[in-house]
């Protein structure tokens, strides 16, 4: 018989993604029987609010997952590598926000608006991977275009907010801004250079081919989610001094001739997308408007006049919500609707 409510655990509950998990479960009325909040020894013993009550934060341990139906994980890749398989073995379906399992061929990588049918593949390992935030917002916007016009190539440049690098990174930006305004020396711990009033064309570490890991995540994950290895993707990922919401300038080349007005109409009807595109009124998506909201916003939709079948657009979304916690909770909603 179908359960009415589920035992849910959040691993990494005290982080910026974890905080969004808690908020979104409550906002969307997810049927939670018992919520277990987990973190490291640094935060164990503290508490966080859920549905008007203070819940204790417990230590993430291997024994934690007995009787837990769904695990929402964002404790970092090396921690997920240890605890996600343990939880999965105890019968908990893990939805993991880290990069640890995304490219594992036995584990589905899911964006509900794009490849919901892949969720069923969780049964082999009891783990579902949530893509990188920059990939999620891009594929949500490109899916209707790919379905109708067949995308051959994607060229993307990102403008990623500091919250993508966690709580300490957000603190580093605000501390540096205050220090610079007060003519004090600033500290630099999270980012490789000053982030205040600056842009860093480096997210994560560099690989031998000159790309960063973040850029290669976008390439590989996009192909896996679309189930199409023929799509060529190239990315430049840049950190900007914005607190929340990632922006992306995206150029696509399609097989069939593409009409920007039709793309606007397609995207207007697309699930999870909101078109904000009225240049006469000066309207286009911006991170300050996207923060703390759910949609993937698309604007500046226009023909790429330098090639035969090309399109340019600007895509913005809250990286902590659709880019991380919301996407995972949407996966959980489909999981309980169709499988648990």
Contact residues toward ligand 3JN (CB under 6 A) are 77, 98-99, 132-133, 160, 164-165, 203, 217, 319
Quote the DSSP letter at residue 132: P
* DSSP-assigned letters across all residues of 279-338: GGGTB---HHHHTT--PEEEEEEEE-TTSSSEEEEEEEE-TTIIIIIHHHHHHHHHHHHH
Backbone angles phi, psi at 264, to 5 degrees: -60, -45
Residue 325 binds which of ligand 3JN, ligand NAP, none (CB < 5-8 A, kind-dependent): none
Out of 55, 76, 150, 234, point to the residue binding ligand NAP (CB under 6 A). 76
Residue 203 binds which of ligand 3JN, ligand NAP, none (CB < 5-8 A, kind-dependent): ligand 3JN
Q: Are 30 and 329 in contact (CB under 8 A)?
A: yes
Tokens for 146, please give them.
């790919």
Show which residues are catalytic. 133, 246
Q: What binding mask, one character per residue, do residues 34-73 give for ligand NAP by CB under 6 A, x or -?
A: -----xx-xx----------------x-------------
Residue 94 Cβ vs ligand 3JN, minimum distance, rounded to whole Å = 14
SS3 136: helix
Order across the sheet with 93-96: list the strands.
Answer: 47-50, 53-59, 32-39, 6-11, 70-73, 93-96, 127-129
Residue 70's DSSP bridge partners are 8, 93
Asked if 92 is part of the footprint of ligand NAP (rule: CB under 6 A), the reply reads no
| CA nearest neighbour of 243 among 299, 292, 202 | 292
Tokens for 207, please give them.
């690989």
Residue 160 binds which of ligand NAP, ligand 3JN, none (CB < 5-8 A, kind-dependent): ligand 3JN
Residue 134 Cβ vs ligand 3JN, minimum distance, rounded to whole Å = 7
Residue 43 binds which of ligand 3JN, ligand NAP, none (CB < 5-8 A, kind-dependent): ligand NAP
Residue 231 Cβ vs ligand NAP, minimum distance, rounded to whole Å = 20
Residues 186-215 that bind ligand NAP (CB under 6 A): none
Contact footprint for ligand NAP (CB under 6 A): 12-18, 39-40, 42-43, 60, 74-77, 79, 97-98, 130, 132-133, 164, 166-167, 323-324
């Amino acid at each position: 018989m179908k359960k009415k409510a589920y035992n849910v655990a959040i691993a990494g509950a005290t982080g910026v993604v974890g905080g969004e998990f808690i908020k979104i479960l409550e906002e969307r009325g997810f049927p939670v029987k018992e919520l277990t909040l987990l973190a490291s020894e640094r935060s164990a013993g503290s508490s966080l609010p859920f549905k008007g009550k203070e819940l204790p934060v417990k230590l993430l341990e291997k024994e934690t997952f007995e009787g837990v139906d769904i695990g929402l994980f964002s404790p970092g890749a090396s921690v997920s590598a240890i605890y996600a398989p343990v939880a999965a073995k105890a019968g908990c379906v893990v939805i993991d926000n880290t990069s640890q399992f995304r490219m594992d061929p036995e584990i589905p990588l899911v964006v509900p608006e794009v490849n919901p049918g892949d969720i069923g593949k969780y049964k082999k390992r009891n783990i579902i991977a949530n893509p990188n935030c920059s990939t999620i917002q891009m594929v949500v916007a490109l899916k209707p275009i790919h379905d109708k016009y067949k995308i051959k190539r994607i060229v993307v440049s990102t403008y990623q907010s500091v919250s993508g690098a966690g709580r300490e990174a957000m603190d580093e930006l605000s501390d540096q801004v205050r220090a610079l305004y007060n003519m004090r020396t600033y500290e630099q711990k999270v980012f490789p250079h000053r982030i205040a009033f600056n842009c860093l064309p480096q997210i994560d570490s560099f690989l031998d081919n000159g790309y960063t890991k973040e850029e290669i995540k976008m390439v590989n994950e996009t192909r896996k989610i679309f189930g199409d290895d023929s799509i060529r993707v190239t990315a430049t990922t840049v950190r900007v001094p914005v607190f929340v919401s990632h922006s992306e300038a995206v150029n696509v080349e399609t097989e069939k001739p593409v009409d920007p007005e039709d793309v606007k109409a397609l995207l207007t009807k697309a699930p999870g997308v909101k078109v904000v595109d009225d240049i006469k009124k000066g309207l286009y998506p911006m991170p300050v408007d996207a923060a703390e909201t759910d949609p993937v916003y698309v604007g500046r939709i226009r023909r790429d006049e330098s090639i035969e079948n090309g399109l340019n657009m600007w895509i913005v979304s809250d990286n902590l919500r659709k880019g991380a916690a919301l996407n995972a909770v949407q996966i959980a909603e489909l999981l309980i609707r169709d499988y648990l």
